[in-house]
A and B are shown apart, each in its own frame.
Chain A
Amino acid sequence: MVKIVEVKSVTKDFGEDGIVTRALRGVDLDLMAGEFTSMAGPSGSGKTTLLNIIGGLDRPTSGTVSIEGKEINQLSEGELSRLRRDRIGFIFQSYNLIPVLTAFENAEYVLMIQNMEKEERRERVLRVLKEVGLEGLEHRFPRELSGGQQRVAIARAIAPEPALILADEPTANVDSETASSLMDLLRRLNEEKGMTFLFSTHDHAVMKRAGRLIRLQDGRIIEDNLQTGYR
């Protein structure tokens, strides 16, 4: 199996005025291609910090992170930006859609900055919007899609067909029914497209749906189990 993510002895300190808070304390983690991994833990355990570091949104204080064998600590800001654009998809808790763009345009955005041909872009976006259940709603703006904003965010994340999708509490802002259907969608994308998912959650129902469950506490991984019979 291909190793997508390799995290080695990563620590992360935050602080100012001499007061240092250690958010991660020597985390080691490997993610293999096609894994559907959930990361759980209480607030402040370091879930979001770890996701940010793996996604290249933040840099570790020490340790290394590699994506598809490429050590991202060594990359320049421009190279890191290209890595995020081409190989990593993000799904944020609060969607973070571009409000002035329609569902179609939001999903198209990354493909556009990848300089993909217009026709190919169009076909790809229409396909992913259909996959996430937004067929016919392509020209709605995010504000007009109150229940479907996270689906647009998912479409945006999967449109460039990245190797890894990082989702920070993707179901935190939706009701349990919507959360369940979103997890169904992510799971289906994982199975059908072989995309690697790593998501953080507080929700026990969501944790149970993952193939692998990692628990963090005080910046350390305290449990890392494959779950059998998950669904």
Chain B
Amino acid sequence: MIFRVAWRSIWRNRRRTLITTASIALGLVIAIFFIAMAEGVYEQIVNDGVRMQAGHITLENPDYQAAPAIDLRIGDVENIRKHIKKNEAVGETKLLIWGQGVANSGAGAVGVSIMGVEPAVEIKNSPLARDIVSGAYLADDDDRKAVLGEHLAKELKLEPGSKIVITTNNARGELVAELCRVKGIFRTGSDEIDGYFIQIPLNFARRVFGLRADEATQLGVILKRPGDQQMLMKEIKPMVSGKNIAVLPWQQILPEVASYIRIDRVSNWVFQGLLFVIILFTILNTLLMSVMEREREFAVLLALGTPVRKLKGQLFLESVFIGCLGCFVGLTLGGAAAFALQIWGLDLAFLMPEGVTISGFAISTTVHALVTLPVFLWTGGIVLGAMLLLSLLIMRRISKVRLAETLR
């Protein structure tokens, strides 16, 4: 009976119930949509970052992070790689040789970051390999070939087929200069990458930097599911024990990206929280109105002998019904909108014609959401929890009803 009274009571003032439900639903739609969109952008940044650089998990010399130098390399990489690849959580592994140098052409010289890569692995994984705007990307059998950023090419007046000399210090500290040809030019949208970045085939890089066949500066591990990172790190550490190799998460390799995501995520939640507080006040107002209007009815029920706790239970149920209804509508619509954004994406190029760079990574202007169950559970749970807390406040009014006065 209490269920029946509660359910029918919320529909007595249909408009008010619909407004309250719509407020909750709207809040949830906004929260889910924007949180999922932000999570999608974070995932894109991380995904692009780790695939272009050293994976979700990076194996490198323990001192490399503090002072990246070519002599801080790791050995036995093929053997380690073979063992890591056996794990089902691993999607791909990649070897990198990363050093600094100077690129010279007839037009001038520019300090550059030189990355030796395995072209086949990069083509499969790195967004940079897909950003070629002129010429072609590297191939595994290429030698003395390089791809470089559009700004760098412009500054050095280079085009596919042009000659370029890379000057650097090798692992033994000797000055070396190697001639190669530009095979392709990429445009990522990031000034940093497009202006100072050169990729060359791994074997050529080994020659340039004087590394042996099973040496590299980094071994990157790309995961099938990023959530497996901690688990896999635990499994990898014993494999490299005693080899002077550190096993690091991408958050330590790309700390700016990790910080950006952390800060942006917090500010996004704060924004959603503020919006939510405003909506809660609307809900509090309508619930309070609903109770005050019905004080006489409550007095009648109490006069008939209804226990106070039962009447409070009825009010609580009314809030549960409205809260659940609002959550259902909000989660459904918000989820549908976020799923649509996840599948089709939204191209915001008209808002950002110059493109977007976050922590040095160029991000596509087409944003895709990332809908995850925790987002639903958290947002729905917070809204419903807050509704129920509000109803506890409202319920206190029941104890204050003065029967004789109210029924007069």
Q: A residues engaging B (CB < 8 A)?
A: 48-49, 52, 55, 57-58, 77-78, 81-86, 90, 92, 96, 98-101, 105, 108-110, 112-113, 156
Contacts and interface: CB of A to CB of B under 8 A. Distances in A.
B305 interface: yes
B307 interface: yes
A156 B308 CA distance: 20
A49 B407 CA distance: 11
B7 to A, nearest CB: 9
B5 interface: yes
B8 A100 contact: yes
B304 A90 contact: yes
A146 B302 CA distance: 24
B1 interface: yes
B307 A101 contact: no
B128 to A, nearest CB: 65
Contacts of B296: 96
27 contacts: A49-B404, A52-B407, A55-B303, A57-B303, A57-B404, A57-B407, A58-B403, A58-B404, A81-B306, A84-B304, A85-B306, A86-B305, A90-B304, A92-B407, A96-B296, A96-B407, A100-B11, A101-B8, A105-B1, A105-B4, A109-B1, A110-B304, A110-B305, A113-B305, A113-B307, A113-B310, A156-B304
Consensus secondary structure, chain B interface: helix
B9 interface: yes
A194 to B, nearest CB: 21
B306 A113 contact: yes
B140 interface: no
Nearest to B8: A100
Contacts of B9: 100
B308 A77 contact: yes
Given A48-B408, A98-B297, A99-B12, A81 B5 contact: no
A81 B407 contact: no
Contacts of A83: 305
A109 B11 CA distance: 19
Contacts of A57: 303, 403-404, 407
**Which of the four size classes fits the interface of chain B?**
20 to 34
Contacts, number: 68
B303 A109 contact: no
Contacts of A82: 305
Interface centre among B4, B296, B301, B305 (most CB of A within 10 A): B305
B149 to A, nearest CB: 71
- Most chain B CB within 10 A, of A57, A90, A112, is at A57
Contacts of B303: 55, 57, 84, 90
Contacts of B310: 113
B109 interface: no
B378 to A, nearest CB: 35
Given A48-B408, A96-B407, A109 B8 contact: no
B375 interface: no
Interface string B1-31: 1001100110110000000000000000000
**4 closest Cβ pairs, A-B complex:** A85-B305, A100-B8, A58-B404, A57-B403
